[in-house]
Amino acid sequence: MSKRLRYTLTLLLLLLITITISKLLEIRREKNAIEPILDPVVIEKTISKKYVTINDTIPIARYFDFMDSLVAVHESKTPYQLSEHILVKSNSWIIDTLAHTDYYNMMQRDSFVYNQQRMIVFQPRDSIIIPDSLEACTISEHFDKIRIDINLPEYKLRVYKDSLLLSTYPIRIGQNRIKYLKMGDRFTDLRTKQGNGMVIEYRRNPDFYNPVTGTQFFRTRRDDGKTTLMPQIPWIVTEINGIRNGQLIHPTTNPKSLGKAYSNGCIGVKESDAWRIYYQCPIGTEIVIRYNLKVIDDNGAEVLLKDIYQISP
């Protein structure tokens, strides 16, 4: 083979290599143009989910302090605003555990509980997930779409995500009367107020006072005639029509009163339902309390409800 031929072949080989490299670079540029560049935070989410192992026994009496400490420790380690509600939403078994502490649920299992605060929520070796950024963002967006709808004469509280019905709970409402309440030192219309508002705060370890007498109490007589200590279950504080009138959503220890105008104005729910509503509805959740006598039943038929407050024209 002559030198000129070898030289020509070498040039052709170099040209072929150059063309091949150019094509590879072009394909890579096109691929990058099609696929979005991942944000560092998004990349972090794929490795930031953590599992925390519990090393102690946590009863209800210590539950909220424990959750607060867990959030405080891990909040600085997450690229999002970690909260108790996000944490529990990511670990839904916690809600079930708390709901099962309902006195009447326990009695159905032949277990009498005098002091609910001693019941165990977490045990050693239980594991809690600290959600990654993507899951936390999804949960936050979910909470932003939650709203509470209460129809007083129907005795129902509904939780919606946009227009999707998530849950329906039986309730009791305020009595149709005016009565003197020592706590307010005035005659008070006990009817539950209608209007629009929101959840503004919680009382996670409430004190218990009889609004009629103003005296504090610590025990309750159950529907079965037995006496127990008052359970520690969060109360939801509402603001309706821009007014904070003490109208709460809270558990009743006497579920036989559900479906009745029985309270001093608050909205009462089952103990188990109170836990579920608390974790479904974070602070800022919108609330509508209405008085609609005409409703549609499960069969699609129109039903006219009893005018319990006698306000229908």
**Domain with 212 in it: what CATH number?**
2.40.440.10
Q: Alpha-carbon distance 51 to 74, whole Å?
A: 11
Are 104 and 187 members of one domain? no
Q: Verify that 284 and 201 share a domain, yes or no.
A: yes
Is 279 domain-assigned? yes
* The last residue of a domain, from among 120, 140, 160: 140
Which pair of structure tokens corresponds to residue 33? 């143009």
**Do residues 179 and 296 both lie within one domain?**
yes
* Contact status, residue 279 vs residue 205, Cβ threshold 8 Å: no
Indicate whether 20 belongs to any domain. no
Single out the residue of 243, 236, 241, 247 nearest to residue 283, CA to CA.
236
The Cα–Cα gap between 70 and 210 comes to: 35
21 occurs within a structural domain: no
Residue 151 within any structural domain of the chain: yes
- Residue-level pLDDT at 8: 61
* 28 belongs to a structural domain: no
Of the candidates 211, 173, 171, 174, the one whose C-alpha atom is nearest the C-alpha of residue 189 is: 174
Both tokens assigned to 186 = 């005035």
The pTM for the full model equals: 0.84
pLDDT attached to residue 11: 58
- Residue at 33 is within a domain: no
pLDDT of residue 28: 55
Q: Do residues 121 and 225 both lie within one domain?
A: no
Give the C-alpha separation, 114 to 53, whole Å.
30
Q: Are residues 187 and 293 in the same domain?
A: yes
Range of the domain at 131: 40-140
133 and 160 together in one domain: no
| Largest CA-CA distance found in the chain, in angstroms, rounded | 118
Domain-embedded: residue 286: yes
- Residue 77 has a pLDDT of 87
Same domain for 130 and 50: yes
**Is there a single domain that holds both residue 300 and residue 210?**
yes
Low-confidence ranges of the chain (pLDDT < 70): 1-48, 313
Q: Which of 99, 119, 140 is the last residue of a domain?
A: 140
Q: Are residues 123 and 214 in the same domain?
A: no
Total number of domains in the chain? 2
Domain boundary among 111, 140, 169: 140
Do 99 and 231 sit in the same domain of this protein? no
